């Protein structure tokens, strides 16, 4: 074997080893100071979202906040996690509070997403007709709202789980919202303020039997026989209104969460870093084979 062949073999071995190292490097999900779904539908600030028409699918965890500036979309978390780092997790307000001429955000579905460590998990200002489905809210160190519906109506929250550090707030004319089939931690986990006409029904409250120790199940239906009072409105010591779940569930709701494990991150480096070394390996092998054939044909 001549020196050129030996050198080519060394190069090929090195390139293949480099490829294996790149594949095996554990890469963290992208840390984004601000992920934005822009009005034109484009995404900036992360590689961890794949756009398919009006659907935005997470393909990795996101660290940082997300601003949504487009209506009529679906955000599918695929079971991944958005870590708000103490800020608003997903902002649907579109800056309406600062600039009332901005269009409100409507008809956004957020599903299959774990939202953690936020001041507010999902925050709105106007708009409505949104759907929050199979989402989980946890570890809000500031005991913020998992979902704050401010002046935002006709929303549906279902099959979501809230821990004892996250709440739902429906305030400032947030009317005709529905909360059902959710796992809620305790009394005061839903706040209704300067709003009304809300439907809160068939939810599991973790302290139900503590608050109502004599409650029993109705005919094996899974529903307790005592309504659960979750909020009251008083003025000058006078009771003005009572908000209650008339069909509280006796057992936690099984959440049909779909998608990948929240602990799985998609590598954030470009795939060319893997493809190029492999192409170089193939090219080197081709050069080696051609050189050997040429050497054989040379008298």
pLDDT in tens, 86-123: 999 999 999 998 888 999 999 999 999 999 999 999 99
Q: Which helix (H) or strand (E) holds 114?
A: strand 114-116
- Asked whether residue 237 carries a pLDDT value surpassing 50, the answer given is yes
Residue with tokens 């779940």: 245
Using CB atoms within 10 A of its CB, is residue 59 exposed (0-12), middle (13-18) or buried (19+)?
middle
For 282, phi and psi rounded to 5 degrees?
-60, -45
- Asked whether residue 298 carries a pLDDT value surpassing 70, the answer given is no
Amino acid 27: pLDDT: 40
Q: What angle do CA 49, 55, 58 make, to 5 degrees?
A: 25
Which of 199, 114, 121 minimizes the C-alpha distance to 153?
Answer: 199
Return d(Cα 48, Cα 32) in angstroms, integer.
10
What pLDDT digit, counting tens, does each position of 208-235 carry? 999 999 999 999 999 999 999 998 878 8
Return d(Cα 46, Cα 33) in angstroms, integer.
9
| Of 8-17, 102-111, 178-187, 229-238, highest mean pLDDT | 102-111
What pLDDT digit, counting tens, does each position of 48-95 carry? 999 999 999 999 999 999 999 999 999 999 999 999 999 999 999 999
Strand ranges (E), 143-252:
145-150, 156-158, 161-162, 167-171, 178-180, 183-184, 190-193, 199-201, 204-205, 228-235, 238-245
- Asked whether residue 266 carries a pLDDT value surpassing 50, the answer given is no
Return d(Cα 79, Cα 266) in angstroms, integer.
13
Confidence category of residue 186, pLDDT binned at 50, 70, 90: confident
- Asked whether residue 19 carries a pLDDT value surpassing 70, the answer given is no
Q: What angle do CA 104, 173, 193 make, to 5 degrees?
A: 130
- Asked whether residue 291 carries a pLDDT value surpassing 80, the answer given is no
Residue with tokens 């779904």: 37
Q: What is the dihedral of CA 138, 141, 146, 149, to 10 degrees?
A: 180
Q: Mean pLDDT throughout 126-147?
A: 90
Q: Mean pLDDT throughout 17-38?
A: 57
**Average per-residue pLDDT for the chain:** 82
Q: State both tokens at 185.
A: 């931690």
Return d(Cα 167, Cα 155) in angstroms, integer.
16
Return d(Cα 208, Cα 120) in angstroms, integer.
25
Which of 66, 64, 139, 154 minimizes the C-alpha distance to 107?
Answer: 154
Return d(Cα 222, Cα 247) in angstroms, integer.
9
Amino acid 66: pLDDT: 97
- Asked whether residue 200 carries a pLDDT value surpassing 60, the answer given is yes
State the helix-helix crossing angle for 3-24 and 272-297, rounded to 10 degrees: 160
Query: What separation in angstroms does the CA of 140 have from each of 137, 250, 286?
Result: 8, 26, 58
- Asked whether residue 269 carries a pLDDT value surpassing 50, the answer given is no
């Amino acid at each position: 074997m001549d020196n050129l062949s030996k050198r080519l073999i060394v190069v090929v071995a090195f390139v293949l080893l480099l490829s294996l190292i790149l594949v095996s490097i554990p890469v963290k999900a992208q840390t984004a100071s601000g992920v934005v779904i822009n009005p034109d539908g484009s995404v900036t600030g992360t590689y961890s979202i794949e756009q398919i028409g009006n659907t935005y699918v997470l393909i990795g965890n996101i660290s940082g906040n997300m601003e949504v500036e487009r209506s009529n979309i679906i955000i599918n978390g695929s079971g991944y996690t958005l870590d708000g780092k103490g800020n608003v997790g997903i902002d649907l307000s579109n800056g309406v509070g600062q600039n009332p001429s901005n269009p409100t955000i409507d008809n956004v579905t957020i599903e299959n997403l774990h939202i953690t460590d936020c001041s507010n998990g999902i925050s709105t200002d106007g708009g409505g007709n949104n759907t929050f489905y199979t989402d989980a809210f946890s570890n809000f160190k500031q005991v913020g709202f998992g979902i704050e519906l401010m002046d935002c109506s006709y929303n549906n929250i279902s099959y979501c789980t809230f821990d004892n550090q996250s709440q739902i707030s429906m305030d400032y004319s947030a009317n005709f919202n529905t909360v059902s089939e959710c796992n809620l931690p305790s009394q005061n986990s839903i706040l209704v303020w300067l709003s009304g006409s809300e439907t809160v029904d068939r939810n599991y409250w973790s302290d139900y039997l503590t608050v109502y120790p004599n409650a029993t199940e109705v005919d094996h239906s899974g529903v307790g026989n005592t309504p659960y009072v979750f909020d009251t409105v008083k003025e000058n010591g006078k009771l003005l209104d009572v908000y209650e779940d008339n069909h509280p569930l006796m057992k936690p709701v099984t959440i049909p969460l779909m998608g990948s494990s929240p602990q799985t991150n998609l590598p954030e480096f470009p795939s060319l870093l893997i493809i190029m070394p492999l192409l170089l390996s193939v090219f080197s092998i081709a050069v080696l084979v051609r050189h050997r054939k040429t050497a054989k044909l040379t008298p």
